[in-house]
Amino acid sequence: MDENDGVRAQSRCVSREEQEENELSTDLSNLSVGMAETKRMDYLRWDDYFMAVALLSAMRSKDPSSQVGACIVNASKKVVGIGYNGMPSGCSDDDLPWNKESSDPLQNKYMYGMCIVTEMVIGIVA
């Protein structure tokens, strides 16, 4: 052992610390690679997404026999309208009839309701 042994020893010690640090950072970097967020691949396709919006909207309908939902989307895939079948807005769905086979046309829902898509398109362009 000469006078440089201590230095070498210290230097070896620092080296080991550095090595440990390197190992630690390597481990952390592995960890961060392992935890890295990557894009989900099982996300909803646009068509399914818009159809799901339409299905959800249909659940708002008060029509006892048919529940229809709609979701209108523009060319940029932006929803420009959602809706469901029912009485025209502003008309009470407690007062208007929900029948469909009454001999009195005024007592049938068809006299008052309109295809929801038609109604929505009118709403969008109006």
Where along the sequence are the contacts to ligand LAUPNLSC (CB under 6 A)? 63, 65-66, 68, 85, 100, 109, 113, 115-117
Both tokens assigned to 109: 């829902």
Can you point out the beta strands (E) in 1-126? 69-73, 79-84
Determine the residue with CB nearest ligand LAUPNLSC.
Answer: 66
Minimum distance of ligand LAUPNLSC from residue 118's CB (angstroms): 8
Nearer to ligand LAUPNLSC, 82 or 113 (CB): 113
Nearer to ligand LAUPNLSC, 115 or 122 (CB): 115
Which value, in Å, is the radius of gyration of the alpha carbons in the chain?
Answer: 34
Say how far apart CA 86 and CA 95 lie, in whole Å: 12
Minimum distance of ligand LAUPNLSC from residue 44's CB (angstroms): 24
Minimum distance of ligand LAUPNLSC from residue 75's CB (angstroms): 22
How many other CB atoms are there within 10 angstroms of residue 111's CB atom?
13
Say how far apart CA 45 and CA 83 lie, in whole Å: 21
Minimum distance of ligand LAUPNLSC from residue 99's CB (angstroms): 9
| Neighbouring C-alpha atoms within 13 Å toward the C-beta of 39 | 3
Nearer to ligand LAUPNLSC, 49 or 112 (CB): 112
